[in-house]
Chain A
Amino acid sequence: MSNKIIAQIKDIASEVYKKILKKKQPDLSMPLRALTNVKYDPKEGYFEILGKTKSRTLTASTIRTFAQTLKMMALSKELVEKKDIATKREAYYVSKNWGEAMFKEQPESDTVMDDYEAMMSVNREQIGFIPEEKGGDIAGELIVIDKDPETGKDIKIDCTKFGSGAYSVPSSVEELKFETNAKFILAIETAGMFQRLVKHKYWKKAKCILISMGGVPTRSCRRFIRKLSDDKKLPVYVFTDGDPYGWLNIYRTLKVGSGNAAHINKYFCVPSAKFIGITAQDILDYKLPTHPLKDVDIKRVKDGMKNDPFVKHHREWQKNLDLLVKLKKRAEQQALAKHGLNYVISNYLPEKLKNQKTWLP
């Protein structure tokens, strides 16, 4: 695998060098990472990348980024050869050795890294880089089988035994194996709601695995859920706030992937996921306390209606968004506390899980 990666890196670099020798402007081309370059195929169930590419031609104005991309490739080659890894932040610090070509801020180096990753059409772990952020928290009826980093022996981690705490998804999940009797996976937007469900051992009551995503799920979190649901044939239910961010950013990214990671959506999505979180109809049905929709929410809705292939495909989602805009209101998960702190456990979740008509695809 790593040999293949190194060969690919060398190919790209040789192309550049050959162009220079021919006195032609070298360019680096990579898939366009945007919603405009994905299509939603309901059969496949995720955002498939289209053929659009962007190319970075070497000119006076692009030479700095061009040089940085090549430098980043050289760093990656070294990492792969030595079987080492670097976090995004570490890569940013390595660039401080590059003289004038160093990155001034980490977002700069992150963009170059994302471009390079897309150029290679692989997951960044394969080219030696790992993300900073932790993947998410797990609690419930699950045993994760990991390996001891020193001995390489299997370790079994029982996710029921973390008390009021939780097991953290590691940054690389490919080698993990699972044992479980759970009936479904419940992915939760906020740590607060996760805490409540863990405290009252909801997982035991409902025989499920609880996962806290903490906002938009990280790649490893997405991959973890996907792998777990594939391996153990478990349905995945997603519980977010009743607002455009919870629906279009968190849920949609988990289910079908994102424009930004268009080149790797195939592995980092959970097409079987179903939405059981707060819908616009829930706001009415449960008489939830609300906040007014912000301008940014309305913009997000309009943008989704217009550009998001996933929304464009599902009438149910369009209706849901329409209703929200009509209500001009949004509601958070915790708004259920209006009916009692444990209303979510005693009433809301059981009702939602029972009544499939209240779900969204």
Chain B
Amino acid sequence: MAEELTKAHELAERQREIGVAEFFSRNRHLLGFDNKRKALLTTIKEAVDNSLDACEEANILPEVIVEVVDMQNDRFRVIVEDNGPGIVKKQIPKIFAKLLYGSKFHSMKQARGQQGIGISASVMYAQLTTGKPAKITSKISPTQPAHHYELRIDTQHNKPEIVKEETAEWKKEHGTRIELDIEASYLGGMQSVDEYLKQTAITNPHATIIFTNPKAEQIIFPRAIEAMPKEPKSILPHPYGVELGILINMLRNTEARTLQSFLVNSFSRVSSVAAKQICENAALLPAAKPSEMSREAAEQLMRGIQKTKLMMPPTDCISPIGAEALEKGLRKEVNAEFYASVSRSPSVYRGNPFVIEAGIAYGGNQDSEGTVRLLRFANRVPLLYQQGACAIARSVINTAWRSYGLSQSQGALPLGPCTILVHIASVWVPFTSESKEAIAHYPEIIKEVKLALQECGRKLSSYVRKKRNIQTESKRRSYIETYIPHVSSALKELIGLSAKDEERAKILLKELLEKHRGKLESVEFDPAKNVEYDKEFAAIGKEEKEGKKERQTTLKEGDADE
């Protein structure tokens, strides 16, 4: 029987594998390249994140140089250079020109990067919009030469394509430099590169960032703390957080020969006793061979894990910023009357430990109209987009701010002259998308953020209450002073006081009435009181007064996503 040529065969002709790079090049918005303005930010963000991660891993105080050069016609050259440990020659092409390649995905450790997509996505975006290859220079030791590469991504096969490769002279002892030509637009405002770098400086006081903007102006964010943050430790995944598919993979690939040793060696907080307990709860033999286990057995194992009481994961893998450093950063950015900050003790969602930190700056020269300003950070990285979709915003909305002295309508951010900062540090920050803009709504996270905010809120409310009392009192005093002259002038009319006596009566009356009220504490905002406030720093990224035109252009381009 001759093979019939069916429609399915016809369709089969057109069916083929989709390269991951190909997929992302079509869906670049998933990676944060939705529009020109955001593309510039994302490119710089990915490079800076990598630089900071690299420096911290090598225990080097970071010094990151960022340069954006206007190449005309909406094209910009982005240069990011660090003093990190450098990258060995053979890894350079894969790291920069292969998607989903990296060191961080498989390790349970607090880091900025997670998926191994970021920088190679930027390279791909550059290639897509300007056709230019990425230029990478890296040096790992003063005694070795630097390597220079020009790279492209073979999007079909998600493979690096080396355009040029050479050794080069570089004065730096070690470090990495990337240069990308991309289509972009450079604008100020709350979602600008300037704002991103400034916020990065707030939560990374141990880093120096030198930024040269397209107007060739140099902005330096100098290091504020001469000490590295506590190095986060890498931990094994906790059994509570593992998913079935991953568990099956782990079982297949483990070198352990028994189920018991697999459990002990692949997970944190599983002792051999606990492993036995899991096996018992799963009705599996501890001596079973992991590589021979069926899908059904893996599912049994999952249920066994859930049934077994295990210690929560270790939390020393997290390196929070600390309440004090956080407040210091806020003081630099906002000149307020009152500050409060808190660093919560670690908590766990789906087996992943995390820490929530929050800070509040109230009053001062902040705008008292409109909603509060919310600054969100994840593993020290500022989150500038997708505020509405973020668990942090949800928590802020869910907190009852009215009892803390801010006004708030149902289901909305509070109103008032206030900046709220929230930082989540975790071995695995659950973002809602690859562009890493919003935190997923895990109830544990929402709850912890809320608790942190409430802690700050309580401090805030006692300040706001005190301020209100003093204001009532001073109103009352000015009330007194309004009527004193009427008392004395009436006395003058009644018993013919001289002008001098009238004056005297006024003074005596004032003394008399204030004697009973005690000394009045001043709550007038003193802009000079906060010595840490840096006016120029605070102005960075803020649109100028006449920047309204700019904003309109922004809207036209569909740039403003919030």
Interface residues of A (CB under 8 A from B): 9-10, 13-14, 16-17, 20-21, 23-25, 58-60, 63-64, 66-68, 70-71, 73-74, 77-78, 98-101
Task: Write the B511-555 contact mask toward A (1 if CB under 8 angstroms, else 0).
Answer: 111001100000000000000000000000000000000000000
Knowing that A20-B508, A74-B494, A101-B486 touch, tell me 10 more A-B residue pairs with CB under 8 angstroms.
Answer: A13-B494, A17-B497, A20-B505, A58-B487, A59-B516, A60-B480, A63-B484, A78-B493, A99-B486, A101-B483
B495 with A63: CB separation less than 8 A: no
User: In the complex, what distance in Å separates the CA atom of A59 from the CA atom of B516?
Assistant: 9
Cα(A197)–Cα(B55), bound, Å: 110
Known contacts A20-B512, A23-B508, A59-B516; is-contact A98 B486 (Cβ 8 Å): yes
Most B C-beta atoms less than 10 A away, residue of A23, A70, A100: A70
Chain A residues with CB below 8 A from B491, complex form: 13, 16-17, 70
Assess A10 versus B482: contact at CB under 8 Å? Given A20-B505, A23-B511: no
Set of chain A residues within 8 Å of B509, measured between Cβ atoms: 20, 58
If A60-B517, A63-B513 touch, whether A17 touches B495 (CB-CB below 8 Å) is yes
Given A63-B484, A100-B482, A101-B483, residue A77 in contact with residue B517 (CB < 8 A): no
What bracket does the count of chain B residues touching chain A fall in?
Answer: 20 to 34
User: Does B512 lie within 8 Å of A25, measured CB to CB?
Assistant: yes
CB atoms of A77 and B487 under 8 A apart: no
Does any Cβ of A come within 8 Å of B476's Cβ?
Answer: yes
- The contact of A14 among B477, B479, B495, by CB within 8 Å, is B495
Which of A16, A17, A64, A78 interacts with B483 by CB under 8 Å? A64
List B residues 174-204 near A (Cβ within 8 Å): none
Q: Give Cα A9–Cα B491 distance, bound, in whole angstroms.
A: 11
Assembly CA distance A71 to B483 (angstroms): 11
With A and B bound together, what is the CA distance between A60 and B482 in angstroms? 11
Task: Provide a sorted-by-A list of 10 A–B residue pairs whose CB atoms are within 8 angstroms.
Answer: A10-B494, A13-B491, A16-B491, A23-B508, A58-B513, A59-B513, A70-B490, A70-B494, A71-B490, A101-B486
Give A20 to B515 CA distance when docked, in angstroms.
13
Q: Complex formed: what's the CA distance from A138 to B423 in Å? A: 88
Bound together, the chains give a CA A268 to CA B158 distance in angstroms of 109
A60-B487 in contact given A10-B495, A14-B495 (Cβ < 8 Å):
no
Determine whether the beta carbon of A63 is less than 8 Å from that of B490: no
A118–chain B nearest beta-carbon distance, Å: 18
Nearest chain A CB to B480's CB is how many angstroms away?
5
**Which of B476, B479, B494 has the most C-beta atoms of chain A within 10 angstroms of its own C-beta?**
B494
Of the candidates B490, B497, B511, B516, the one whose C-beta lies within 8 Å of that of A67 is B490
Q: Are A60 and B513 in contact (CB under 8 A)?
A: yes
Which 4 residue pairs are nearest across A and B when measured between Cβ atoms?
A70-B490, A13-B494, A67-B486, A74-B493
Q: Which of B495-513 contact A (CB under 8 A)?
A: 495, 497, 505, 508-509, 511-513
| Bound: A10/B492 CA distance, A | 11
Closest B-chain residue to A21, C-beta based? Answer: B508
Complex alpha-carbon distance, A24 and B516, angstroms:
11
Of listed A17, A64, A73, residue having the most chain B CB within 10 A: A17
B505 partner residues in chain A, CB cutoff 8 A: 17, 20-21
B490 to chain A: closest residue by CB = A70
B480 touches A63 (CB 8 A): yes
Chain A residues near B512: list those with CB within 8 A: 20, 23-25, 58
Report B111 CB to chain A, min CB distance, Å.
61
A67 proximity list for chain B (CB < 8 A): 483, 486-487, 490
Q: Which residues of B contact A66 (CB under 8 A)?
A: 483, 487
Between B476, B490, B497, the greatest number of chain A beta carbons within 10 A of the residue's beta carbon is seen for B490
Q: Measured between C-beta atoms, what is the minimum distance from B295 to chain A in Å?
A: 80
Which residues of the partner chain B approach A60 to less than 8 Å between Cβ atoms? 476-477, 479-480, 513, 516-517
Whether B508 contacts A73 by the Cβ 8 Å rule is no
Name which residue of chain A comes closest to B507, CB basis.
Answer: A20
Contact B508 A63 (CB under 8 A): no
Asked whether B497 lies within 8 Å of A71 as measured between CB atoms, the reply is no
Residues on B with C-beta less than 8 A from A20 are 505, 508-509, 512
**8 Å CB contact of B486 from A13, A23, A71:** A71
| Nearest residue, chain A, Cβ from B495 | A13
With both beta carbons as reference points, the residue of chain A lying nearest to B481 in the complex is identified as A63
Chain B min CB distance to A330 (Å) = 47
Query: How far, in Å, is B87 (CB) from chain A's closest CB?
Result: 73
Residues of A within 8 A of B511 (CB): 23
CA–CA, A25 and B484, complex, Å:
13
Scoring B residues 194 to 221 as 1 if CB is less than 8 Å from chain A, else 0, what string do you get?
0000000000000000000000000000
| Alpha-carbon gap, A63 to B506, bound state (A) | 13
> Which residue of the partner chain B has the closest CB to A17?
B491
Residue from A10, A13, A25, A59 with most neighbouring chain B CB atoms (10 Å)? A13
The answer to whether B480 and A77 touch across the interface, beta carbons within 8 angstroms, is no
- Residues of chain B within 8 A (CB-CB) of A13 are 490-491, 494-495
Return A135 CB to nearest CB of chain B, in Å.
Answer: 32
Minimum Cβ distance to chain B for residue A15 (Å): 10
B487 in contact with A63 (CB, 8 Å): yes
In the complex, what's the smallest C-beta–C-beta distance from B472 to chain A, in angstroms? 11
| Shortest Cβ distance from residue A296 to the other chain B in the assembled complex, whole angstroms | 37
Residues of B within 8 A of A21 (CB): 505, 508
> What is the CB-to-nearest-CB distance from A96 to chain B, in angstroms, rounded to a whole number?
14
Set of chain A residues within 8 Å of B477, measured between Cβ atoms: 60
Q: Do A77 and B483 contact each other (CB < 8 Å), given the known contacts A59-B513, A60-B513? A: no
- Shortest Cβ distance from A77 into chain B, in angstroms? 6
B272-313 vs A, Cβ < 8 Å mask (1 yes, 0 no): 000000000000000000000000000000000000000000
Distance between Cα atoms of A73 and B517 in the complex (Å): 29
Please pick, from A14, A64, A74, A100, the residue contacting B490 in the complex, using a CB distance under 8 A: A74
| Chain A, Cβ-Cβ closest to B492 | A74
Q: Please give the distance in Å from B487's CB to the nearest CB on chain A.
A: 5
